[in-house]
Chains A and B, each alone.
Chain A
Amino acid sequence: MSKELRFDEKVAIVTGAGGGLGRSHALLLAARGAKVVVNDLGGSFTGDGKSSSAADKVVAEIKEAGGQAVANYDSVEDGDKIVKTAIDAFGRIDIVINNAGILRDVSFKKMTQADWDLVYKVHVLGAFRVTHAAWPYMNDAGYGRIVNTASAAGIYGNFGQANYAMAKLGIHGFTQTLAAEGRKRNVIVNTIAPIAGSRMTETVLPKELLDALKPEYVSALVARLAHESNSDTGGLYEVGGGFFAKLRWERSEGKTFRLGRSITPEDVDASWKDITQFDKTTHPGSVAESMQPIMGNVEAGPSKGGNALIDVDAALGYKYPEFTSSYDERDVSLYALGVGAAKDPTDERDLQLVYELSGKGMKVLPSFGVVPAISMVFTQGKNGIQAPGLNFGLDRVLHGEQYTEVKRPLPRAGKLTTKATVKNIYDKGKNALVVTEFITYDEHGDELVKNELTTFVRGGGGWGGERGPSADVNVPPDRAPDKVIEDKTSENQALLYRLSGDWNPLHADPSFAKAFGFQKPILHGLCSFGYATRHVAQAFAPDGNPDYVKSIKARFASTVLPGETLVTEMWKDGEHRVVFRTKVKERGEVVISNAAVELHKELPKAKDRSAKAAASSGGATAAVPNSADIFRAIGAFVGGNPATAEKVKTNFLFKLSAPESAWTIDLTTPPGTVTEGVAGKAVCTLEMSDADFMAMATGQADAMKLFSTGKLKISGDVMASQKLGFLKKLTPEMVLAETKKRTGGAGAGVPPTAAAGVPADYVPTTDDVFAVIEEYLKQNPDLAAKVNTTYLWKIGSKTWTLDLKGAGSVKAGGDAGECTLELTEDDFLALTQGKADAMKLFTTGKLKISGNVMASQKLQFLSKLDPTKAVEVIAKRRGAAAPAGATAPAAASAPKSSAEAQAPKIFAALTKRLADNPGLQNDVRATLKFVVDGNEQTFAMGGNDPKKVDATLTINDADLVALVTGKATAKNLFQHGQLKVEGDVTVAHRLGFLNKLV
């Protein structure tokens, strides 16, 4: 029970206290110790007449109950007299309850000036006069509590009460300002909007309701607000019939137009929903808060302009979602063919561009750098990703200019991430230019390519914005070209080029091209761009090596039809710069103008990461313990303490990364063994980085902490990992002893596995592994006879035949085998190095087996391949292939990025299936959004609104593949957290339509 709210020694004025609410307020305050001035004119509720009896009766009542009160019979318009009564009788004034009021209800049409004025005078002027007279006393005392009386009619409006409603809401405005002015002097001012049965309301409300509306209910709130303990000020409260509530203003989030451009009624109309909807709101409590959006808009500065097609404010600076892509030698070759390379297949220099095993090494055309950017534009466009404020379709755009800069010669394969930004928007009068910058990074996060794509938007200009640079640059000098190369495109050139990612039907579909006013599908601007780049490299790069091209800038002046002959005219402009233009020979028209190529002075190199890798492996440094030493020390320890294995009885597999290694601590049979690689069946597998393992084993990191921060992953019998406590018994001396053994005492240590001719950062290739298999077969002549099967391996784009019949043999190529195994090169390498499990690869769909599936189980021996042996074999092999210790053999390709994203294919298949089976849609009846790594697509099924997504399903590409191929269930993926469902989860129960999609 909280303390009683008392008003001892406080002096209160209650106006209109002769009856109803006022009387009730006066009685309550007096009962709780206040000295009360009971003011009442004694008139009727319509403001007519006057008598002293009403106030006297209430004073008598108060006195009878032992309270103190005096009566006052003045009109509230003589507020100073009422206040004087308080000062004369009690010497001070603490509380004013402005309650007096009258009604002059009449429809507005019939309302007279007298009705209006009288209501104003009693409610508004009266509240002003009384408060104004009391204010100086309260200010001086530094204390005051004022409660004003409004009404629902004022807040919401009410028929027949135009005068009264005006007065009542006016009073709340009055309250809010007094609250602001009085706050510092502890003068607290609030408004109540009561409903109670009184003389004023008994004429309009039914009896039962009147009974519920006792004035006493309202007085409780008045007392709370008038109490010393109240610090809430400027509030508006609805009260009556037992209900108490506070009101506040609520404002929609609204719509803000940037300043400096005209705002038309149509603009307001178009934003009506934003202006009026209340799903996002604020509750401003002061003028300052109310002004916030306006101040924000002023701070944001003037609008940069725009029109219906382009809103510069919204679009400029927009960052597109990141885009990931990958490519390999096949993509590189296809692109080169697309831009007319290798028309003479015996030309070694051209062959380099299209043949990965070319004797001189494969080269990537620098203009290939446009491909990730263009793929991004088309992929995101297809998925509905658009910059805000760019409201035009493909039908309005032309590729205006292109600038491509490669930071270093492009690798022949890579995994890329591209980030794009709307960099500039120029108003060219009738038309507009939008410049988008694309920066492409390699898998290490190093910048590889920068593209600037300038889009010409027909009819997009005219808002009076910045015109941008206009002077032509790269104008050919006034002399005959230094070099000219002629190159005829083929009739199907566009069809070939579009396979590099530009799917615009304008380049393939005759009817589409006709609709655009072309006689037939035209060649891609970027195809001519590729031709020209090739020409410049051929003519000016040292030895025709395209790696020397640093950047290409071009303006697309006109179109080219496939089959026409391109003539590139080139002028040397300084030592490392070539200005060029390209014409169509048949028509003499310039198609590429204002163009230039910059050349590198010397070839930039990729960052050398091998040094770092070698250093972290600890292999090159003398007498520094590495993880291998620790494992060997563990081996020595368990060998000397058979009791350990007896207690632990578990087989642990440690998989370390960076650099990768695997060690088995097998303690199933005492004394137990520690071996490098996978041995026996691991009960508990621990995965962590080499560095973390070192930190843990040397006591610098805590296993629990590594685990809880996700740096240590434990699978299998998780609880068994707690039995590894014995590792703590390992002393630094034991580890150091192993280090010494390894390094031969002191001095320059050589890692035991290193073999001559193999660099420290050596990464085995598929070729290497098959060489090791061949070696293994030689050493195990019985094996082939036992297995008695031929295997065909499809690894990435290559095939290998492993013939395990008779003597057994290994050879590259082949197209038949009793058992076919298909997987990526990465997975193959992981598998044969014991870093991946065949069963797991199979169940996750990464390893496909066809033909005699069971025969695949006879391949266990692959996990027994000795990595040290591999290095020796490879060293020997390389020694034979390149006696001078040359670098990687031509055929050894870098490990390829694992399979490309399947999601787009699956989405396409799904779209088709849904179109073919309307019944399926009805089973689902929902709008589903799939988010799969970088790819997103929304499917609205069963007539659902595509904009209202019922559920968003987030899943990675591999899991999606597993789901659609039936290798995983939605429930299972969900429980493992691999499928996240936002929104209606039960929709995920209805994913049956995905079954066997591919």
Chain B
Amino acid sequence: MPRKVNVIGVGMVPFAKPGKSEEYHVMARKAGQAALADAKVPFTEVQQAYAGYVFGDSTCGQRAIYELGQTGIPVFNVNNNCSTGSSALMLGAQAVAGGMAECVIVVGFEQMEAGALSAKWTDRTNPLDKFVNVMNEEQGFNSAPPAAQMFGGAGREYRWKYGTKKETFAKISAKARQHASKNPYALFKDVLSVEEIMASPEVFDPLTRYQCCPPTCGAAAAVLCSDDFAKKHNISKPVYIAAQAMTTDYPSTFEEHSMIKMVGYDMAKAAAKKVYEQAGVGPEAVQVVELHDCFTANELLTYEALGLCKEGEAEKFIWDGDNTYGGKYVTNPSGGLLSKGHPLGATGLAQCTELVWHLRGTAEARQVEGAKIALQHNLGLGGACVVTMYRRD
């Protein structure tokens, strides 16, 4: 029986545009220090460290963690595309759950370049080649940024299936901006109307520019520990991980001639199912969700993958306002990847940070009232999806 894993400290730095941030190790240090201070635990108590990042040479993790202290502990560098942060989090949680460590720190950071994501290693097979070939077959290859074509194409396929209005996608972004306006850590705090979002240049139908997450720099961190450790440090009623699961691609990604499947719908759905089974509660028990809205299209698909609404009913869910304050759930109270920003390695931990704040009731102007159970969804193409449920009793 795995042990319970508590999240006793979280912290992050305000996210920034490429070129406007501090260096990765400085951001990581600040996030790490914030998490340790939040946990009221000195670094010397930390037994292992997990560092998530995508862009950078090997051992950036050590370079960053050494800023917090050099106690000779194991440091692991984790790279799993956009789901890097929560992959690192899961490894840390496994170390605690399996009894291998009492207290670990997980830091995610990213110092990104401006512009759309592109491949760095052009002398070898691109790991996404099979995804691109599926897309090429289904909808051709365009001059738009590849990620926007993939998720936009999935949105297009969804639109074809259910006749969804373009405005529905834009509403997700408007909601994200609304939420982010209250988040001092977010990159885009200006509120945008649905009209303004629709009027921004089209990147790839149905996505317009304001429906794509920006390249971002930032860092976030979490301190995890066992019940024994929490008790020893007089930490009462910490937030804990009620369930967690990671999935990777199923054959449907490549075989079903579906853009929706290609961008990881099935792995998200399967991960959510596992989490609900582990936790013994379903989506109806959740109040607040941080999910992977790299593009509005993916947030829409994820509502269904996570079971927040039935398949084919995401549009109604959105128009009913069930994704924001006053509705069934509040999704991405932080502003999500769309507005808060998406520093690949940091995203999973920033989601965790936001949810912990809500469960503690310290999310200030963004607080989701009565939040008891929170759900996190972090997805990377390539691919991996991590779904985590947090609770506070």
Give A residues with C-beta under 8 Å from B.
647, 704, 707-710, 713-715, 717-719, 722-723, 725, 971, 974-977, 980, 984-989
Among A707, A708, A971: residue with most chain B CB under 10 A = A708
Q: Which of B118-140 contact A (CB under 8 A)?
A: 118-119, 122-123, 125-126, 128-129, 132-133, 136, 138-140
Would A725 and B143 count as touching, CB distance under 8 A?
Answer: no
List 27 interface pairs A-B (beta carbons < 8 Å), by A numbering.
A647-B123, A708-B116, A708-B145, A709-B143, A710-B143, A713-B143, A715-B140, A715-B141, A718-B141, A719-B126, A719-B129, A719-B132, A719-B133, A723-B123, A725-B122, A725-B123, A971-B160, A974-B160, A975-B138, A975-B153, A975-B160, A975-B259, A977-B139, A977-B204, A985-B162, A988-B160, A989-B160
B126 partner residues in chain A, CB cutoff 8 A: 719, 722
The distance in angstroms between the C-alpha atoms of A723 and B123, with both chains bound, is 6
Nearest to B118 among chain A residues (CB) is A704
Asked whether, in the complex, the Cβ of B157 is within 8 Å of the Cβ of A975, the reply is yes
- Given known contacts A707-B143, A708-B143, is B122 in contact with A723 (CB within 8 Å)? yes
CB-CB < 8 A to A722: which residues of B? 119, 122, 126
Known contacts A719-B128, A975-B156, A975-B259; can you find 19 more A-B pairs with CB under 8 A? A708-B145, A714-B141, A715-B136, A715-B140, A717-B133, A718-B133, A718-B136, A719-B126, A723-B122, A974-B156, A974-B160, A975-B153, A976-B140, A977-B140, A977-B142, A977-B204, A985-B159, A989-B160, A989-B163
Q: For residue B364, which residue of chain A has the nearest CB? A: A1
Nearest-neighbour CB distance to chain A for B105, whole angstroms, equals: 31
Which residues on A sit within 8 Å (CB–CB) of B132? 718-719
Let me know if B133 and A984 touch, CB within 8 A. Answer: no
Whole-angstrom distance from the CB of A501 to the nearest CB of chain B?
A: 36
Q: Nearest A residue to B138 by beta-carbon distance?
A: A975
User: Nearest residue in B to A980 (C-beta to C-beta)?
Assistant: B205
Interface SS of chain B: loop
Output the least CB separation between A355 and chain B (Å).
Answer: 46
Q: 3 nearest interchain CB pairs? A: A986-B163, A710-B143, A985-B163
List the A side residues contacting B159 at CB < 8 Å.
985
Q: Which residue of B lies closest to A985 (CB)?
A: B163
Which residues on the A side are within 8 Å of B143 (C-beta)?
707-710, 713
> Which residue of chain B lies nearest to A977 when distances are taken between CB atoms in the complex?
B205
- Whether the pair A985, B160 counts as a contact (CB closer than 8 A) is yes
Chain A, residue nearest B259 (CB): A975
Q: Tell me the nearest residue of chain B to A708, going by C-beta.
A: B143
- Establish whether residues A984 and B118, one from each chain, have CB atoms under 8 Å apart when the complex forms: no
The yes or no answer to B79 lying at the interface (CB within 8 A) is no
* Cα of A533 to Cα of B141 in the assembled complex, Å: 54
The minimal Cβ–Cβ distance linking B106 to chain A, given in whole angstroms, is: 31
* Nearest-neighbor residue (CB-CB) of A726 within chain B: B123
A985–B204 alpha-carbon span in the complex (Å): 17
Most chain A CB inside 10 Å of its own CB: which residue of B122, B156, B160, B204: B160
* B164 adjacent to chain A (CB < 8 Å): yes
Q: Which residues of B line the A interface, CB within 8 A?
A: 116, 118-119, 122-123, 125-126, 128-129, 132-133, 136, 138-145, 153, 156-157, 159-160, 162-164, 204-205, 259
Chain B neighbourhood of A710, CB < 8 A: 143
* A985 CB contact (under 8 Å) in B116, B118, B164: B164
- Chain A residues with Cβ below 8 Å from B118 are 704
Q: How far in angstroms is the closest Cβ of chain B from A925? A: 14
Most chain B C-beta atoms within 10 Å of own C-beta, residue among A714, A976, A984, A987:
A976
Determine the residue in chain A with the shortest Cβ distance to B123.
A725
Residues of A within 8 A of B156 (CB): 974-975, 977
With contacts A704-B118, A985-B159, A985-B164 taken as known, whether A975 is within 8 angstroms of B205 at the C-beta atoms is no
Q: Give A291 to B51 CA distance when docked, in angstroms.
A: 62
Residues of the A chain whose Cβ atoms lie less than 8 Å from the Cβ of B128: 719
Q: Which residue of B lies closest to A647 (CB)?
A: B123
Interface centre among A719, A723, A977 (most CB of B within 10 A): A719
Instruction: Tell whether, in the assembled complex, residue A975 and residue B139 are in contact, meaning their CB atoms are under 8 Å apart.
Output: yes
Whole-angstrom distance between the alpha carbons of A980 and B166 in the complex?
12
Give every chain B residue within 8 A of A988 (Cβ-Cβ): 160
Nearest B residue (CB) for A2: B365
Q: Which residue of chain A is the closest to B160 with respect to CB atoms?
A: A974
A261 to B52, CA, bound (A): 74
Contact check: which of A708, A723, A976, A984 meets B163 at CB < 8 Å?
Answer: A984
Chain B: minimal CB distance from A685 (Å): 11
User: Across the interface, which residues of B come within 8 angstroms of A989, CB to CB?
Assistant: 160, 163
Q: Is the CB of B139 within 8 A of A976?
A: yes
Q: Which residue of A lies closest to B166 (CB)?
A: A982
Q: What's the least CB distance linking B352 to chain A, in Å?
A: 25
Distance from A683 Cβ to chain B, minimum over Cβ atoms (Å): 12
| Closest Cβ–Cβ distance, residue A451 to chain B (whole Å) | 37
| B336 CB, min distance to chain A CBs, angstroms | 25
A975, closest chain B residue (CB): B139
Nearest B residue to A714 via CB reads B141
Give CA–CA (A987, B118) in the complex, Å.
37
**Cα distance A858–B164 when bound, in Å?**
47
Q: Determine the chain A residues whose CB is within 8 A of the CB of B125 once the complex forms.
A: 719
A100 to chain B, nearest CB (A): 38
Q: Which residue of B is nearest A725, CB measured?
A: B122
A833 to chain B, nearest CB (A): 24
Q: Which residues of B contact A986 (CB under 8 A)?
A: 162-163
Instruction: Give Cα distance in the complex from A715 to B141, angstroms.
Output: 7
Which of chain B's residues have a CB closer than 8 A to the CB of A719? 125-126, 128-129, 132-133
Least CB distance, B316 to chain A, in whole angstroms:
14
C-alpha spacing A725/B123, complex, angstroms: 7
Per the bound structure, the CA–CA distance linking A513 and B322 in Å amounts to: 66
Smallest CB separation, A455 vs chain B (Å): 39
Which chain B residue lies CB-closest to A974? B160
Rounded to whole angstroms, the CA-CA distance of A709 and B115 in the bound complex is 13
Report the minimum CB–CB distance from B138 to chain A (whole Å): 6
**Cβ–Cβ < 8 Å partners of B123 in chain A:** 647, 723, 725
Q: With the chains together, A971 CA to B162 CA distance in Å?
A: 12
- What's the least CB distance linking A963 to chain B, in Å? 15
Q: Which residue of A lies closest to B159 (CB)?
A: A985
Contacts of A723 in B (CB 8 A): 122-123
Kindly provide the distance from the CB of A236 to the nearest chain B CB, expressed in whole angstroms.
24
Q: How far is the CB of A733 from chain B (nearest CB, A)?
A: 24
In the assembled complex, the Cα of A975 lies from the Cα of B205 at a distance in Å of: 10
In angstroms, Cα B164 to Cα A714, docked, is 31
A989 CA to B162 CA, complexed, in Å: 10
Instruction: Give Cα distance in the complex from A484 to B164, angstroms.
Output: 71
* A971-B258 Cα distance, complex, nearest whole Å: 12
Residues of A contacting B138 in the complex (Cβ-Cβ under 8 angstroms) = 975
Contacts of B136 in A (CB 8 A): 715, 718
Q: Separation in Å of the B150 CB from the closest CB of chain A?
A: 12
Distance from A902 Cβ to chain B, minimum over Cβ atoms (Å): 23
Give the distance in Å from the alpha carbon of A977 to the alpha carbon of B148 in the complex.
14
* Distance A59 CA – B128 CA, assembled complex (angstroms): 77
Bound form: Cα–Cα A723–B129 in Å? 12
Report the minimum CB–CB distance from B258 to chain A (whole Å).
Answer: 10
* Closest beta carbon of chain B to A260's beta carbon, Å: 36
Q: Considering the chains assembled together, what is the distance between the CA atoms of A719 and B159 in angstroms?
A: 27
Set of chain A residues within 8 Å of B133, measured between Cβ atoms: 717-719
Query: Shortest beta-carbon distance, B133 to chain A, in Å?
Result: 7
Minimum CB–CB distance from B259 to chain A (whole Å) comes to 7
Complex CA–CA separation, A719 to B133 (angstroms)? 8
Q: How far is the CA of A976 from the CA of B135 in the complex (A)?
A: 10
Complex Cα distance, B118 from A713, in Å, reads 17
Across the interface, name the chain A residue whose C-beta is closest to B157. A975
Q: How far is the CB of B36 from chain A (nearest CB, A)?
A: 26
Nearest CB of B to A217, in Å: 20
A348 to B393, CA, bound (A): 102
Q: Which residues of B contact A975 (CB under 8 A)?
A: 138-139, 153, 156-157, 160, 259
- Using Cβ atoms and an 8 Å threshold, which residues of chain B touch A987? 163
* Nearest B residue to A721, CB-CB: B122
- Shortest CB distance A710–B (Å): 4
- CA gap between A974 and B152 in the complex, in Å: 13
Residues of B within 8 A of A971 (CB): 160
Tell me the minimal C-beta distance from B151 to chain A in angstroms.
14
Nearest Cβ on chain A to B363's Cβ, whole angstroms: 13
